[in-house]
Structure formats: C-alpha cells, structure tokens
Structure 1
C-alpha cells in the first residue's frame, strides 16, 4: 500500500508540473529579413523574464540558429527522422536557459514519413513540450507543403518583415495564404531594420490596411527593431544581440516587444485555436 501511495504521489506531482505551452510560428515572406535572429533573441528575452522556452529550427536546408549562438549541435531533427536518436536527444542547451532543436536539410523528409514515424514524432513531441511555457518554431522563409502543417497547428503567428516594398508584399502574401487556410490564428507583426519608430508604424499600417481591406482580417503590431550596427557586430561574434549589448537600441526594442507581447495590450486579441496543438499537427501530418 505504501508503494502504491508513493507511486500515486509521484504521478500527481508530474501532472501538476505539466504545462500547457503556447506555440508560436515565426514566419517571413522572403529570406534575409532577420527572422531567425529575432526568433532567437525573442526566445532569450522570454527566458530572461522567467519563462521556459523551446526554440525549434524549422528552416529547411538553411537552419542557422546554432550559428547565431556560436553553438555546434550534436544532433538535429534530421537525426531523429533517420531513427538514430530520440526527439529528447536532439534538445540542446542555448544561452540564458533556452533549449533548442537544430534544423537540417533532411527535414523535408517529414512528408514522406510512414504512419509509424509520424506517430512516434507526435507522441514524443507531446511529451517534450509539457516542460515549456513557450514552444517557438522558427520557420523557413515563405511556405511549403511541409511547413504549412506546423504553421496551421500553432496558437499564434509572428510575421517578420522590413520596410522594403518587396518584403512588405511578400509578408502580405504569406499571411494571406495562412488566412485562407485558417482565419482564426492571430497575426502579430514585427517590422525589422527600421530607420525610425515612425517608419515602422507606417510600414505596419500599410500591411494592416491591406489585410483588413481585402481579407477583413485584423493584425496586431508587436513592435519594431531598429537598423542597429550592434546587431551586425553580434552576428559576427556569434552572440545573440540582446546579450552582446543589452543597452543597444535593438536590445531595448526587443525587450519592449517582449513586454508588449506578454501584456497583450491589443484590442480584440483572443485565446484562439483552443484545439490542442499536437492534435491539430497530427491530423494535418496524416492528411495526404
């Protein structure tokens, strides 16, 4: 009886420690807008504020999160799909307490997986994410048949763009694509490499008006990141810019962005996508 009671206490403790993580996909319409850098620094900023974060590199063939951190990953998600390691084995330690899973060129194999491997992946992922407050997927630029399954499964989307006209057009295109497949996922927008906050607000206004006019869709301004020389210095040093110089304009803007996200000071935002992330992902992965 004593052993049974102890087992029950352990199980109850495990249940109490389980979390219901918020899942986010960070997307961009085109490459070269600083998406991965913002994903990484946003994750670190959340961790600095006391949240547990798992950052998942989904940039197929061009994963670079470990390079931005100056890390060498022992395993990547490709090793899991090759069947050589468990998903837990692929989790690496990042700066400021974040955990991350490195990407790899073989990630596109996901769509060719047999039912047994899809089951294995979703089961192991569902167990892992219970340890985190936030699971952030740094998606590749644009959208593919593989990546859209993850994008449509998450609770929220963060779109990264710059004030360049081509970047704005591409950002609208990917958000439109997502909207037409699921109109309930909240959209947050970050304007990177701005010369001034005014330029960033004007850029967001352009995107917001087009989304509202043509799709009847609201989007929420998450913030701007200035075109700051300290970011290039941090990239060369392979140190996240929020750690390289926490007093730089970019670091301050990033921290403010995180505070804004946490406080959810957005009129009209709701807890959408109540359908569990893993259930949605599994359903979409099994669709052929």
Structure 2
C-alpha cells in the first residue's frame, strides 16, 4: 500500500464534497483551521452545489475529485462533510489517475465507501478523519480533533490508549495487521461489490451514528455471514452515537456479539461521529492489545 507524501507548511490542499453540499459558514470556519496550520486551502468548484438531477450532481462530484488528484499543485484532499451518494460515483472514478498521483485523501462517514474503493483499486493509504465543515467548525471542533490532523505533517505514528479515553475490552488478546474499515452502514452496503472492505489479516475499525440497536445487530450479522470476520486479527470499536437509552442497547448488542470471538476487541475509541474525533490512516500496519488496551497505528504518510 502506497503512502502519500507528508504535508508541509505552504502546501496547497483542496476541500471537496463528494457526499453532499457543505454548509458555507461551517466550511469557511473549518477552512480557516487548515489555513492556521500553514496550508494554502482552495475549494472544489462544486463544493456548495445542489442539483435536483442526481446524474448531473454525480458528474460534478467526480469532476472535483478527479481535478484534485490530477492537479500536481495539490498535496492533500479533505472532504467537507458526510451525506450520501458516494457509492454511486465509485464505479466512475479513474483509479489509475489516483494511483499515478498519490496524495492524502481524508474523510469518514459516507466517505467510507471511497476510502475502501481507492484502497482496493489504487493501492493508496487513505485517512478516516474529521471533516472540514462538520467537525472543524467553531461550534463542534475540539483541540484534540485539530491536533489529530497534525500527524499529516509530522509523520508520527499514533498510540491510542486509556490516557486518551477510557477503553473497554470485550475480548482479550493481541492482533496485528492492516487497519481497515469505517462506518458500519457503508461497510455493509459494500458487501458483494468490488468496493467491499478487505479484512483478510486486518484490524477492523467500525463506527456508527444514530442507528438503532436492532440495525447494528443486523449489520454485524450480515458482515459475519458474509465472512468479513473470518480472518480478522482484531476489532476496534469507535464511537456509536445514539441517545442514552439506545446507546445502552447498542453496547449490549456489541458485547453479546464480540465476547466469544477468537480475536481481541476493544471499544470506546473516539473515532467517528464524535468530539474529539481522532483521525487514523487506513491501510497501514496496526497493533491492538488488551493488557492494557491500546491501539498502535503506523504513520500514514512518508
């Protein structure tokens, strides 16, 4: 798996919205955060566009994505926010173009579909991380969320243990492999397609937002019956945002599902639809341990 080049001050990056139009006020607030890191930030041509015709909208999203990878002056691509529809554009992406022009591609939620598609067809490390409009706006962002982006400059590996957040072990053990995954709904939607997440010998990250416990159970069962867990080396459970009562039910679903597996499973990582929201590279080597619980992830940049 190829790693993109690390960022440096003065680099030009772009913001695109392949999953849905961004709120302008929030986007500009998040753009300022990236600029304060020393980056020269430009906006994709269609980042605010809203179209009733899905075909036209998809072509605009593809244009911004391809232009970002094609432009040699761009060093990094940050997604504005989540939404829906990335699965529609995955078959139309020029993956050879991306492979010829490896660079940072950063997002999560519905962007999960693209993170996995790009890995499968372009052999490029991608990044599951906080997005510009939805996570870096003045109301939502935290210092920790912003700091997690700085690893793109330093190239430092990530060590995530209980000093960052209280971690809970469902199943003990040690596992090592590529870190893969993302949003549970999108991982499930990708099953049986060319964009399905490759979990063979991997550490699988899952996170979700506002889905009821019965749907979480249904999706996990679907993944299980599709063989997704057959050869995983560990599972990292990120944030499962829900109302308090529903969250209790979700935790029980997760616990019941994972307590008898043969690989280590640790929950409560602040990764996903939460603040702070820690960014992690996907496609690089990771090590999950449970005594004490800790996730170590190699750098995603070179």
| Shorter-chain TM band | 0.3 to 0.5
Higher Rg = 1
TM-score (norm 2): 0.39
Task: Answer 1 or 2: which has greater strand percent.
Answer: 2
Task: Answer 1 or 2: which has greater helix percent.
Answer: 1
